[in-house]
Structure 1
Amino acid sequence: MVKAAATAKSEGKVMLDVKDIMRLTGIGRDKAYCLLYSKQFPVKIIGRKMLVHQDIFDQWLKGKEYRVR
């Protein structure tokens, strides 16, 4: 998982999409979308793309909780 996070950072990505989350967590596409819709952390929707800031996702993985409406 740390290697995948380092890969996303080395690519210069600030925002993660569903494919990045799948790669980071090892979950499938459906579970990744469920995670993004779960309101456990802030997600930005631009067009049809759902994005989460990499730092927020990393903190969430480490156990930080967010309140999202």
Structure 2
Amino acid sequence: MIIEGIDFTVFLKDGQAEVIRHGYLSRAERDRVPPLMIRAAETAAGCAVAGPARGLWASPSLPGDTGEARFKMSC
């Protein structure tokens, strides 16, 4: 899905969402990505993000990474 010109892929399973951003963005352009990742997860799941995923679903990315995020969904 494309949101505000940024391409995202969202995977949903067992009340969790994984969002992957595609393409290159400069550091300045990355600041707006985290809220767009939440929006992508909520759009794909049809429900709200409850917070970051925990346990086995916890994101392996570094804090602040704008390429990948995992969320617990409140469906």
Normalising to structure 2: TM-score of the pair? 0.34
TM-score, with structure 1 as normaliser: 0.35
Higher helix share: 1
Relative contact order (alpha carbons < 8 A, sep ≥ 6): 1 or 2 greater?
2
The structure where strand makes up a greater share of residues is 2
